[in-house]
Amino acid sequence: MSSMVMASLDFSLSLWKFRCNLMLHGRTQEESNALQLRELAHKITEAYAGFSHDLHIIHHRVHHLFDMPLHQWLHQDKDSLSCFLLTFKHAKDAQEIAKEKNAKVAKTYFHPQKLSDPPSIVSLSPCSSQVPTYPSLTTTTLTSEEDSDTQSFPSYDSYSSCSEVS
């Protein structure tokens, strides 16, 4: 029984070494670098696709990241590609945080008015102390001198509710 367990363990360990070392990391350093470059190139291609789909995925001040065409980025070394991806990730995260903050502010600032709320144009009457009055709508008639058309335009009269103006 113990020999069967040991044989199974040896087989699993050799399979894991083959899978982990050879398939994921390559047999040699060159294969390892090629696999890493392929993975970075795929991530950069995804970043370019995301940016072309939504220009607001990052702040406009960091759009210079995408000034270089994709095919030129794909010929860069591993360090340059890693720096690009790290900068893109930080810019994307910062933009998400800014969007969340702006959404919170917008919720508190742009609240819908209820039917019971008074109209938004309120002025204090000059003839009474701290009593709000709402401007009344009157019509002003204008006559054009060139053509004798008479036109009426609505105007607000904030003193219409006062009996005397000081």
What is the tens place of the pLDDT at every residue in 53-101? 999 999 989 999 999 999 998 899 999 999 999 999 999 999 999 999 9
Instruction: Kindly state whether residue 134 falls inside one of the protein's structural domains.
Output: no
Strand partners, 137: 156
Q: Under 8 Å CB-to-CB from 21, ≥6 apart: which residues?
A: 27
40 by Cβ neighbours in 10 Å (0-12 / 13-18 / 19+) ranks as buried
At 130 the pLDDT is 56
Average pLDDT of the chain to the nearest whole number: 74
- Which range has highest mean pLDDT (18-22, 25-29, 79-83, 142-146)? 79-83
The whole-model pTM stands at 0.51
**Polymer length in residues for the chain:** 166
Residue 98 belongs to what domain range? 2-105
Domain count, the chain: 1
Cβ–Cβ < 8 Å for 45, 67: no
Instruction: Kindly state whether residue 162 falls inside one of the protein's structural domains.
Output: no
C-alpha 79/C-alpha 37 separation (Å) is: 10
Instruction: Check residues 20 and 56 and name the one with the higher pLDDT.
Output: 56
